[in-house]
A and B are shown apart, each in its own frame.
Chain A
Amino acid sequence: MMEVLSPTKESKMRDQFQPGAFIGSIFITSGILDTVNVYHGVSGCHAMAQHFRGDQTPNGGYVPVVGTGFLETEAIMGGAGKLEKTLRDIAEAQSLVKKAPQCIWISMSDCPAVGGEDIEGVARGVAAASGVKIVAIENAGFKGGLARGAELALCKILDETVQPYEGEREGINLIAPFLMGSANWPFDIDHMAEMLEAAGVKVNLILSRNLTFADLRRFSTAEANLLLSYDEMPDFIGKSEALGVPTLIDDPVMPFGVGNTEEWLINLAERFGDAKKAQRYLLDEMGQVKKILQRNYNFSWMASFLSDKYAAVCGYAPFAAAITRYLFHDLNIRVKVVGLWSETEAGVQKAEKVLEPLSDSLDFTVLENPTYLQLGEAAKRANVDFAIGSIQDKPLFRGYGIAHLNLGGFYYFNNYNFVPWPLVGVKGSLRLFSEICSKVVDEAFYESEAWKQLAFVPGDGAEV
């Protein structure tokens, strides 16, 4: 049975790890490689933007986030002058960049937003004088979280760069891959595109990953969007619809593990590609996996060892729901507690819809947007052996003596596997399983405290 608890429903109080709207926007714009971000605001927010911008780097590119030097004086007197100077410097390639970018994106923090800074006006002025496209996004932290920030950037992109298309449409756009909630998202989205192509589904655009500014124009030639977030984005969906590109709203489970991958890929292949091709591809991939694992004593041991163990999962709703299903379906692990984080009610509800089929065969509790205290206490009560979450919650679970594996969140500080291998897909199962074996089994089941307490000492107690 699936028990759903909503412990923070009556309050606005939250403590989940949820960077603000400007971070969501910068995740989108930093995948468009011939552009530059300008950040107008206080440096604490800028530091976070710079850190997370780095997610796009592995097998991707480097899009700078240039600060305008917004200090206390600008908070009081206004910072339009510094914004204008920074934009001019970049547009004229005077410093910081070697050549003028195709577009400059402006993001901002709370301080200039509350102060009513006219970033649109400054952008228009410099764009007119320099001829460089400048797009200002009103995306202060209080405007919402990552999903809202992504939506604000997506809307601007559609408004400013995409024209309606009248020809034959083909393929799908993959939208906002970092919102899946996987810390391995750069390699995951690259492999998701490979899987779709193998199943005859044309990937028209990944918005955004390794694009040029000119690529954005392709947006309107797609048949549909696949939004990789469960959160609502009504403004983006409406604008896209107006361009003739509908957005899939049935929100399939994310392809973590073999069971989820089969469901995800065949579903999309049936609608946009070739289901037979998808089946052949899956068989071929499974053949490769079998070559490694079949008759492998080590695998038999570990797969059997992990069976029936207790786990907790927490993270952004799409990731947490998919990993819960993966642990239960693929590894026969009993997930007892699931913490779902989402910016909108719809996000949690969609994840619960994905989890609902488990209700007959697994007894577990879903916590909607819990605080870390509520989540940790629930995991402790459930006596779980380990938790899967993100690096920010590792000290929480380890503090309860619960082993922890960080697979969710963002690449930055979460992901020390520098091998470009996905967690998604059939082949991703190899990495998922390796991560669990190497880290969870070590932490949760190796009796290392006993080794320390019971270690050999020479009979006289003196050092050797």
Chain B
Amino acid sequence: MSKLASQGYRWLPLKEAWDSLPEIDTSEFNELCPGYEGVWCRYLWTTTYFQQFFKDVVIVTHGPLSCVAAVKNFKQTHYSLHSALPFAHSPCTNMDENAVIMGGTDILTDTLRRVDQEYRPKLIIITDTCASYMIHDDVDAVISELKPEVEAKIVYTPSPGFAGVQCGKAVEAMGPLVASLFDPPSKIDQNGVNVLGLYYDTRFTEAEGRKHGGNTEAYVHLIEGIGLKVHRIMNAGDYDYIRTAAEARVNTIHTAMWGYPVAQAMEEKFGTPWLKRQLPMGLEGTRNWVMDLARFMNREEEAERFVKAEEEKLAGLFEETKKWVDGKILLVECSRNSQAKYGEMLAYARLGQELGMKPYVYCLHPVEFKSQRDDLMAVAEVEGLNPPVLMGPYPYHQPVNVEDVMVDLGVNGDQCLYIYDDVFPYAKSGSFDPSTVARYTTSSQMKRVKGSSFLGVGYAGTAATYLGMIESIKAARRKSKPTFFGRVWSSTPFEFQFADQKERTRS
């Protein structure tokens, strides 16, 4: 029995794995995965999500300054620094112990007045926190009271941190809130296509001065490539950009987890139809995404021509990549908390499968997996993808070790291509390092390629991924000179130690 099996881990097909899990936040799940508590909270997800709107939109937090700090801790660093989001002014009611006891509606009223006067935004979105929600501050009453005197539109988006710390649960709740910001359409742009489901990205492009492309260029290329027009990319933009989103003819999806809830809410509220396919990555994945849109918009002929021309450009690289990955499996390591849409990692799995690799998915935390039902629908039902997934306890969010995964699968380093999500790649000189096992960066936090979407979508993104995979496999051929990162994490940082280790093992 392998180490993983003895710890209660087992491989199941994706759909079966999902069905095998109990409902989230139940005692049964607590037993199955002890110590699960999420990584962010509903307030954090909601506030960072709405802070993707900019210029004349201000998010006001009703709660302690500490909650705003938790947002700034990441939003004002990584999201701004590496994904082109501008500084988000985030005034806060600075709720203290006194307000928790006596109520905080007065400080909310004062803050909203000041924000209206000093920042002069067109839209104010109020997010609340555990403390203000638990004491039942009547935010709606404050808004009604202020309505006659403030210039800005004020919208309340309930977001107490404790109410669904699972990412999927928190994001599902946001769909209707996003849709509530849109005006009913006065007209429909018959060629207008929305892209929903972007998270921490702007529509700002390399041509406009961005150093590394987001996703906008990719979708503009695909949509304009078949003679249509990008209407809105969500979430992004100022208030006038947001409010007219419902004037599109159709909604398409970038990521299911962030996109489906908004698409569903827009369908209910405005009747906007939507297409379920997400993440156009790889030749087949991109073709399917484009053709779905083309069928809906009656542009199949243009789309066939466009897709064929683009595929011809990539045919050589595709064949070359296939040769390089021949005989390898794809180790798909989700982040240890799998907080942010595992759909991305599964899209890479789909891309790998198209190249002839069998993907194995692990470190997908069962609670997050279960909570992100939209991703499951997009991957399993829409795409028909059903790779093996490693289910097990993952106690206290502890990841499983990739070297244990390899032992369990009975493969060596030369038989693997390793991809990872988030910020915890595994490397240990002497056993598992980019110098010995091919490792390609697919983490949306870490991947930046000039001229390509950082999520790898579209044809440019696909090309960048193929090239990156080839380069990773070449890099792992050197079998010496481990990376600095691998040496720092290893008890054998120097190569002379490898020889000693081998000698000891032999004797």
Contact = CB atoms under 8 A, between A and B. Distances in A.
B86 A395 contact: yes
B168 interface: no
Nearest to B170: A44
A347 to B, nearest CB: 15
Greatest chain A CB density within 10 A among B43, B67, B96 is at B67
B206 to A, nearest CB: 13
Nearest to B76: A392
A43 interface: yes
Given A115-B134, A396-B87, A12 B94 contact: yes
B306 interface: no
A371 B107 contact: no
A18 interface: yes
B131 interface: yes
B434 to A, nearest CB: 20
A114 B100 contact: yes
A69 B34 contact: yes
B497 to A, nearest CB: 23
Interface string B72-110: 110011101100011101111111110110000001001
A12 B93 contact: yes
Contacts of A95: 395-396
Interface stretch (A46-54, A206-214, A217-225, A380-388): A46-54
A114 B161 CA distance: 13
6 contacts: A42-B130, A110-B63, A110-B100, A110-B134, A371-B91, A391-B77
B44 interface: yes
A372 B161 CA distance: 25
Contacts of B63: 110, 141-142
B65 interface: yes
B40 interface: yes
B110 A21 contact: no
Interface string B426-457: 00000000000000000000000000000000
A45 B70 CA distance: 7
B118 A110 contact: no
Contacts of A21: 66
A18 B67 CA distance: 9
Interface stretch (A71-79, A153-161, A174-182, A184-192): A71-79
A46 B134 CA distance: 19
A46 B37 contact: yes
Contacts of A145: 65-66
A71 B111 contact: no
Interface of B: 25, 30, 34-44, 63-70, 72-73, 76-78, 80-81, 85-87, 89-97, 99-100, 107, 110-111, 114-115, 118-119, 129-131, 134-135, 160-165, 395-396
A43 B165 contact: yes
Given A42-B162, A69-B36, A110-B130, A142 B95 contact: yes
Contacts of B38: 43, 71
A67 B35 contact: yes
B72 A392 contact: yes
A393 B88 CA distance: 10
B8 to A, nearest CB: 14
B37 A70 contact: yes
Nearest to B75: A392
B25 A73 contact: yes
Q: How large is the interface on A (under 10, 10 to 19, 20 to 34, 35 or more residues)?
A: 35 or more
Contacts of A391: 76-77, 81
Given A44-B44, A142-B64, A144-B96, A12 B111 contact: yes
Given A110-B64, A114-B100, 16 more contacts: A14-B65, A15-B90, A20-B67, A43-B37, A44-B41, A46-B37, A48-B70, A69-B36, A70-B162, A110-B100, A110-B129, A110-B161, A111-B130, A141-B65, A145-B66, A391-B76
Q: Which 3 A-B pairs have the closest CB atoms?
A: A20-B66, A44-B41, A141-B66
A15 B92 contact: yes
A216 interface: no
Contacts of B161: 42, 44-45, 109-111
Contacts of A371: 89, 91, 118
Contact of B114 (A13, A19, A68): A13
Nearest to A413: B77
A16 interface: yes
Contacts of B110: 11-13
A69 B39 contact: no
Interface in A1-42: 11-23, 42
B165 A11 contact: no
A42 B453 CA distance: 34
Contacts of B107: 12-13
A13 B66 CA distance: 13
A68 B25 CA distance: 14
B131 A142 contact: yes
B111 A48 contact: no
A47 B68 CA distance: 13
A370 B453 CA distance: 38
A148 to B, nearest CB: 10
Given A13-B110, A17-B72, A372 B131 contact: no
A21 B69 CA distance: 12
B396 A67 contact: yes
Contact of A142 (B37, B81, B100): B100
A373 interface: yes
A13 B64 contact: no
B131 A18 contact: no
A96 interface: yes
A394 interface: yes
A143 B162 contact: no
A331 interface: no
A69 B26 CA distance: 12
B36 to A, nearest CB: 6
